[in-house]
Amino acid sequence: MDNTKRYHTILERFDQITQRMSAPEVISNQSAYRDFAVERSDLEEAVNRINKYFKFKKRIEEDREVISNSNDRELIEFAKMEIDEIGEDIEKLEKEINLLLIPKDPDDSRNTIFEIRAGTGGNEAALFAGDLSRMYRLFAEKHKWKLDLLGSHPSEAGGFKEIVFMISGKEAFGKLKFESGVHRVQRVPETESSGRIHTSAVTVAVLPEAKEIDIKIDQNDLRIDVFRASGPGGQSVNMTDSAVRITHLPSGLVVSCQDEKSQHKNRDKALKVLRARLYEAAKRERDEQRAQKRRSMVGSGDRSAKIRTYNYPQGRVSDHRIGYTTHNLKGVIDGELDEIIEALLLSDREKKLCEEIEKTRKKASD
């Protein structure tokens, strides 16, 4: 199917959805209405560009008629110049439309759970884990997203051995999913008297929030232990057994939460993290069954893969997956992640577009 036919099909589908959303039987069915509303929203930006595309096509036809029928040389030259200019605009529009029409990951609209853990580097890694958690908090605030702490293990020297939180907001997972992996920092620790640069690492896991409808957990598969919460150095945080540790017996996954004074709240938060981990495991298994699709994406989310380096002496941040470098390290650490994230999203979309084109070619040749 060429672009013109494809675009007409999309416009027709968009009109169908718009009409269906005004039908009484759809309005009275919240689930059906929501599904149509989501599909319409996903198509709307592409439709706006498609309408612009057809306006440009019409102008080119009009210019060609002028060239064929007019005797006015000046008018003919103007028409030829406009055809060249509009041709470039059409090429740009086609690329934008094709990117917008790539099927979205259904998880992109979900909230996201972050698990940040200090890796190699001892106290310096824990301090950097704290820096990264602050970076994501500031980024969330900038986008007016909500951040809820789900659990943490502070380090005596500062920062965190581990911190888990949820970011809630529109397209939160879609924007942040490529943050999964090993984040490496190169800098001189405050405790280093010789001024020697240390390299430390922190692992980040970004999980889509899973609802109960996605992952049903049998209570008989859980072992729930309660204990007294403690802080750095083992000191007691409160005097009641409010901390909760949940073990999922079939998978062996263990999740604990002690940040709330209420045992019930800690249990709910721990279950959210457990559900997200189980959902991620199921998703990973599904993706592996789809052969190399996951491997072709920008950053598969493999936590063992070094994805980014933050070099403090040079004020540089480098994302190794796409060869992206910025010297605005301070801005990035202060939550200015939009440029990096947009570059990652664009690279991922372009790779997916190449896959779609290759699929179309194979179908045409079969």
pLDDT, tens digit, for every residue of 167-188?
999 889 999 999 999 999 999 9
Residue type, 116: I
Report d(CA 228, CA 242) in Å as an integer: 6
Nearest to 263 by CA among 320, 224, 220: 224
Question: CB–CB of 36/26 below 8 Å?
Answer: yes
pLDDT for the residue 363: 59
pLDDT at 292 over 60: no
Say whether pLDDT at 304 is over 60.
no
At residue 113, the pLDDT reads: 92
265: phi then psi, degrees, rounded to nearest 5: -65, -40
Six-digit token string for 15:
């009109």
pLDDT, mean of residues 1-16 = 82
pLDDT at 287 over 70: no
3-state secondary structure of 325: strand
Q: What is the pLDDT of residue 298?
A: 43
What whole-number distance in Å separates Cα of residue 155 and Cα of residue 6?
56
Q: In whole angstroms, what is the distance from residue 176 CA to residue 115 CA? A: 12
Better-predicted residue by pLDDT, 335 or 217: 335
- Highest mean pLDDT of the ranges 105-109, 116-120, 266-270: 116-120
The one-letter amino acid at 346: L
Given a cut of 90, whether residue 161 has pLDDT beyond it is yes
Mean pLDDT of 238-248: 78
Q: Is 205 helix (H, G, I), strand (E, B) or coil?
A: strand
Note the pLDDT of residue 147: 94
Residue 141 pLDDT greater than 80, yes or no: yes
Report the pLDDT value the prediction gives residue 134, as an integer from 0 to 100. 97
- Report pTM: 0.63
Residues 40 and 14: beta-carbon distance below 8 Å: yes
Question: If residue 182 lies in a helix (H) or strand (E), which one and from where to where?
Answer: strand 181-187
Give the pLDDT confidence score for residue 191 in this predicted structure: 67
The whole-angstrom separation of Cα 152 and Cα 294 is 30
Window from 163-172, 256-265, 301-310, 352-361 with minimum mean pLDDT: 352-361
- Rounded to whole angstroms, how far apart are CA atoms 79 and 229? 76
Q: Mind listing the pLDDT tens digit for each residue in 322-344?
A: 999 999 999 999 999 999 998 89
Does residue 162 have a pLDDT over 50?
yes
Task: State how far the Cα of 42 lies from the Cα of 11, in Å rounded to an integer.
Answer: 13
347-355 contacts at long range (C-beta below 8 A, 24 or more positions apart):
347/298, 347/321, 347/322, 348/178, 348/297, 348/298, 349/99, 349/102, 350/99, 351/296, 351/297, 351/298, 352/102, 352/297, 353/98, 353/99, 353/102, 355/293, 355/296
What average pLDDT does the segment 262-287 reach? 84
Structure confidence at residue 307 (pLDDT): 94
- pLDDT score of 2: 62
Q: What is the pLDDT of residues 97-113, one digit of tens each?
A: 877 877 677 788 888 99
Tell me the pLDDT band of 3, cut-offs 50, 70 and 90. Answer: confident
End-to-end CA distance of the chain: 15
Q: Which of 243, 252, 261, 264 is nearest to 223 (CA)?
A: 252
- Closest Cα to residue 308, out of 295, 294, 331, 326? 326
Q: Could you list the beta-strand ranges (E) of 198-305.
A: 198-208, 222-227, 243-248, 253-257
Q: What is the pLDDT of residue 290?
A: 45
Going along the chain from its start, the domains and CATH numbers come out as: 3-100 (1.20.58), 112-350 (3.30.70.1660)
Task: Report the alpha-carbon distance of residue 42 to residue 49 in Å, rounded.
Answer: 13
Q: Is the pLDDT score of 132 beyond 90? A: yes
Q: Inform me whether the pLDDT recorded for 352 exceeds 90.
A: no
Q: What is the pLDDT, as a whole number, of residue 99?
A: 74
